[in-house]
Amino acid sequence: MALFDLGRWGVNWLCGAPTETRYSHCPTVCVLLVGHNEGDTIAESPASMWGIYPRLELIVVDDGSTDGIAEVAQRFAAEHAGVLALSRPERGADRVR
């Protein structure tokens, strides 16, 4: 049986067929992305994670950036379910708005 599964996996891999992921237990997972002045690269991080797990929640936090990270994160959150964008008014501030 293991040889059959290995052979089937090899054929699917060679043909480029997508593999189906089956979960016996699927808990909710939350990923927290915190950045400071990473507006030019922040969009890639949630985009690479979003949709890879059925019950994934992403929270992107702008830690007082001055380069537009908050706008990029809010735009991504508006277009993708399960994504929340938060912004701190200044780096290391006590309040999240």
Instruction: Enter the pTM of the model.
Output: 0.65
Instruction: Read off the pLDDT of residues 60-89 as tens digits, 9 standing for 90 and up.
Output: 999 888 888 888 889 999 999 889 999 888
Structural domain contains residue 9: no
Task: Name which of 51, 59, 54, 63 is nearest 31 in CA terms.
Answer: 59
Structural domain contains residue 66: yes
> Does residue 19 carry a pLDDT above 70?
no
> Does residue 93 carry a pLDDT above 60?
no
> Does residue 36 carry a pLDDT above 90?
no
> Does residue 31 carry a pLDDT above 60?
yes
Mean pLDDT of 40-46: 83
Residue of higher predicted confidence among 55 and 22: 55
Structural domain contains residue 63: yes
Model confidence at 95, in pLDDT bands (50, 70, 90)?
A: low
Structural domain contains residue 17: no
CA 63 and chain centroid, separation:
18
Q: Which domain CATH number covers 58?
A: 3.90.550.10
Token digits of residue 10: 């090899």
